[in-house]
Amino acid sequence: MAEKPIPGLAKLEQSVGVLAGVGPAKKEALAKLGVECVGDLVRLWPRAYQNRGDTKSLLEIADRLRNGETGPFSTVLTVSAEPQTRYIRRGMVITKVRAFDGTGSAEITWFNQPYVAQRIHTGETYRFFGRFAWEYNRVQINSPISEPWREDLPLPAIVPVYPVSQGLTQRFVSDAVLSALRYAGDELTETLPTDALEEMRLPSFGYTVRAIHRPADVSEMETARRRLVFEELYYMFLSMALTGAASRQASGPLKLADTDLSDFLAALPFSLTGAQARSVGEIVSDMAGENLMNRILTGDVGSGKTVVAAAAMYAAVKNGFRAVLMAPTEILANQHAEDLSKLFGTLGVKTALLTGSTKKKERAAILEGLRGGGEIKIVVGTHALLTEDVVIGDLGLAVIDEQHRFGVHQRAALFDKAKNVHCLVMSATPIPRTLTLAAYGMIDVSRIDELPAGRQKIDTFIVNETYRERLNGFIRKQAAEGHQTYVVCPAVEESEKGNDTDAEEMADLPLVDAIPEEGAPMKSAVQHADELAEALPELNVGFVHGKLKSSEKDRVMAEFAAGNLDVLVSTTVIEVGVNVPNATLMIVENAERFGLSQLHQLRGRVGRGTAKSYFILVSDSTKPEAQDRLRAVKSTTDGFEIAEYDLELRGPGDFFNETGAIRQHGQMNFRLAAACRDPHMIERASHYARRTAEEDPGMTKPANASAARRLASFTRRTEKTQN
């Protein structure tokens, strides 16, 4: 029995439970993908497509296989004998069948899918799609997808592949998407400016969603995709333009009079790099200007952003204001508090740390110290700072570290706190110069494009699966020397690999897509941790990933930081912020699945101490593009250069939504971005977005009502992909 729709709520915002066939269990499984409402399903973009329509004869396939191609292929065959099922070893079942066309015959084998025997009948014709091999002088087909073939009822040529999680099959998700489209019907309204669509020759939203989920051919899919690229860019720029517009207000009494930082600089144990000094200059001149500062400070991990932010805080304090630094996790907040209390201690400026773990009594004392004449001038903390009872008197500057890691509600509260004060966002996401040109005028950017002198170089290697034993040996060696290792995997759990037991599940096949999708099995953090623990019994192996409770995550991270774990297996949750100088080795599994900037940021997690450090990319991909990308990471350590290269390859989407390479939701972003190599598109999207923001800064005009909803879901979705 389907859930009742909530009256007064738009159809797109109704829970997925209103759709027939989506019961509580499926609802929960969908939620794991970040799908909660009907609109989420409508926008659950396929992560790839299978081109099953391009059927070939067995003769041609045999030729291609002998030439080293591996497919996937699609072929139409007639079954010549009843399937034979055999039980081999414990729990292993294989089902074999022979089939033929006018040019030859093939042997088809399914592993552990005994039920296919019931679906495949002698004399019937099927379309088989999957992985083929040339063995024993014959075409062998392994666990293909089979679809009954009828001349009069053509099968779809292009089949979407959706992200799935445990408890979901491709078929279920695909059907659910269709019922969502039917349910939403007339509410799939256009949210882009008409003249933008005309100028860019883009299809309507209605056409787009149909074509993206059920394309008749490749060109329809491409047309739809182009529109989604534009839309993604437009909303990205719109959300930036709207925040930028809001905070570009007169600085009034917050305009700093005294900008002399010589005593601060003298207290530092080092001198600033040129890039740091330039950034400090830009920040101070903002704060001494007519408008409130709204600036991003970007620079590689380890480039020294904290001390630049500290200079800004010192300038605020010197002028009689307080400053706050907000970090997305407790670990980061602790680290900042420690650094800043050391630095400001020598300058006689009192700092404090306020997080969820701060004891009640201490918290009360801190709140007291932050009032009017209180002596605490700088407070560092997590979102615990955002509760109502925290009132910071004379607040002049809010520094936000890695703001994309905060949830949206927190972010709203954050910017609410920072609304009438100078605002500085720190980010390790390198924003490429070319992109910033377009975004310019929305937020100002300072770049630290130079590392402090004397940093050691991290050696980067690219290896494949044949190195597994040696990799394990290398981990052992690091541990024997008292050092620690990070191992990063693209997926959290087995199910994300897509090799479900359903015969229709072929999600890990190479696909029609710009992004290389390898057949190579994808390492999942959970299983890989198991394997490593088995291979390295003498070591302590732990794992963390975004699906763990945050208290559990923090606990494991703390164990690793304390040196109690030799190996930490994780997804990209460790990408930002943790500082474990004793970690000297990072191994990235299925490296081809990660964005370049992301790999670069991961690399920054090692080499933080004095010991020689290594970054090893494991990839079995033989695709030239994949190899080129990995070589780019090996060949340069300049984050901005890598970002440029990444932009060229993928487009901008990910720079503002930097997350896991394998998204739980909104995965299309990644792919969309791949389709977007068009600076003109970026430029036009920012033009129209800026115009909308200027015409309707509050997004309150009735004509913008559905765009405003879309914007809200854009930010909500961004939030969901952040863990």
- Shortest distance in whole angstroms from residue 398 CB to ligand ADP: 17
Q: Is 452 in the site for ligand ADP (CB under 6 A)?
A: yes
Degrees to nearest 5, angle at CA 512 with 509 and 516 = 70
CA distances for 17 relative to 35, 178, 209, 681, angstroms:
11, 14, 21, 37
The DSSP output letter for 594 is: S
Of the candidate residues 71, 163, 215, 304, the single one contacting ligand ADP (CB under 6 A): 304
Of 401 and 518, the one with the shorter C-beta distance to ligand ADP is: 401
Q: Is 281 in the site for ligand ADP (CB under 6 A)?
A: no
Piece of the chain touching ligand ADP by CB under 6 A; list 135-143, 271-279, 361-369, 489-497: 271-279
Q: Is 345 in the site for ligand ADP (CB under 6 A)?
A: no
Q: Is 72 in the site for ligand ADP (CB under 6 A)?
A: no
Q: Which helix (H) or strand (E) holds 712?
A: helix 705-720
Of 371 and 455, the one with the shorter C-beta distance to ligand ADP is: 455
- Shortest distance in whole angstroms from residue 635 CB to ligand ADP: 22
Q: Is 369 in the site for ligand ADP (CB under 6 A)?
A: no
Rounded distance between C-alpha atoms, residue 592 and residue 619, angstroms: 6
- Shortest distance in whole angstroms from residue 303 CB to ligand ADP: 4
- Shortest distance in whole angstroms from residue 277 CB to ligand ADP: 9
Q: Is 272 in the site for ligand ADP (CB under 6 A)?
A: yes
- Shortest distance in whole angstroms from residue 324 CB to ligand ADP: 17
**Phi, then psi, of 570 in degrees rounded to 5:** -155, 170
Q: How many chain residues touch ligand ADP (CB under 6 A)?
A: 13
Tokens 């109690």 map to which residue? 564
- Shortest distance in whole angstroms from residue 423 CB to ligand ADP: 18
Angle between helix 218-247 and 705-720 (nearest 10): 90
Rounded distance between C-alpha atoms, residue 88 and residue 474, angstroms: 37
Of 130 and 299, the one with the shorter C-beta distance to ligand ADP is: 299
Rounded distance between C-alpha atoms, residue 261 and residue 252, angstroms: 22
CA distances for 18 relative to 29, 167, 263, 678, angstroms:
15, 19, 64, 39
User: What 3-state class would DSSP assign to 709?
Assistant: helix
**Using CA of residue 71, residue 77, residue 79, residue 80, what is the dihedral sign?**
negative
Stretch 282-301: interaction string toward ligand ADP, x if CB under 6 A: -----------------x-x
Of the candidate residues 104, 203, 302, 679, the single one contacting ligand ADP (CB under 6 A): 302
Rounded distance between C-alpha atoms, residue 228 and residue 210, angstroms: 12
Return the amino acid letter for 659: T
Please answer whether residues 643 and 432 qualify as being in contact, where contact means their C-beta atoms are separated by less than 8 angstroms.
yes
Residues 6+ apart with CB under 8 A from 94: 85, 86, 88, 109, 110, 111, 112
Piece of the chain touching ligand ADP by CB under 6 A; list 108-116, 241-249, 259-267, 270-278: 270-278
Q: Is 251 in the site for ligand ADP (CB under 6 A)?
A: no
Q: Is 607 in the site for ligand ADP (CB under 6 A)?
A: no
Of the candidate residues 307, 312, 561, 707, the single one contacting ligand ADP (CB under 6 A): 307
- Shortest distance in whole angstroms from residue 333 CB to ligand ADP: 13
Number of H helices, E strands in the chain: 25, 21
Rounded distance between C-alpha atoms, residue 222 and residue 60, angstroms: 28
Of the candidate residues 55, 113, 251, 306, the single one contacting ligand ADP (CB under 6 A): 306
Degrees to nearest 5, angle at CA 515 with 660 and 521 = 70
Of the candidate residues 100, 111, 115, 270, the single one contacting ligand ADP (CB under 6 A): 270
- Shortest distance in whole angstroms from residue 269 CB to ligand ADP: 8
Of 427 and 659, the one with the shorter C-beta distance to ligand ADP is: 427
Q: Is 312 in the site for ligand ADP (CB under 6 A)?
A: no
Rounded distance between C-alpha atoms, residue 26 and residue 45, angstroms: 18
Indicate the residue whose CB is closest to ligand ADP.
Answer: 304
Of 115 and 270, the one with the shorter C-beta distance to ligand ADP is: 270
Please answer whether residues 591 and 599 qualify as being in contact, where contact means their C-beta atoms are separated by less than 8 angstroms.
yes
Of 302 and 679, the one with the shorter C-beta distance to ligand ADP is: 302
Write down the H helix ranges in 611-704. Answer: 624-635, 639-650, 653-656, 668-675, 679-695
- Shortest distance in whole angstroms from residue 456 CB to ligand ADP: 12
- Shortest distance in whole angstroms from residue 579 CB to ligand ADP: 7
Q: Which helix (H) or strand (E) holds 499?
A: none
Sheet holding 583-588, edge to edge: 459-463, 614-618, 583-588, 484-488, 567-570, 541-544
**Phi, then psi, of 477 in degrees rounded to 5:** -65, -45
Q: How far does Cα 201 stand from its chain's mean position?
A: 29
Q: Which helix (H) or strand (E) holds 621?
A: none
Q: Is 447 in the site for ligand ADP (CB under 6 A)?
A: no
Rounded distance between C-alpha atoms, residue 653 and residue 310, angstroms: 30
Q: Is 446 in the site for ligand ADP (CB under 6 A)?
A: no
- Shortest distance in whole angstroms from residue 76 CB to ligand ADP: 57
Of 7 and 269, the one with the shorter C-beta distance to ligand ADP is: 269
Of 532 and 580, the one with the shorter C-beta distance to ligand ADP is: 580
- Shortest distance in whole angstroms from residue 452 CB to ligand ADP: 3
Q: Is 87 in the site for ligand ADP (CB under 6 A)?
A: no
Write down the H helix ranges in 568-615. Answer: 596-603
- Shortest distance in whole angstroms from residue 319 CB to ligand ADP: 23
- Shortest distance in whole angstroms from residue 34 CB to ligand ADP: 29
Q: Is 276 in the site for ligand ADP (CB under 6 A)?
A: yes
Of the candidate residues 43, 127, 305, 322, the single one contacting ligand ADP (CB under 6 A): 305
Please answer whether residues 225 and 215 qualify as being in contact, where contact means their C-beta atoms are separated by less than 8 angstroms.
no
Residues near ligand ADP (CB under 6 A): 270, 272-273, 276, 299, 301-307, 452
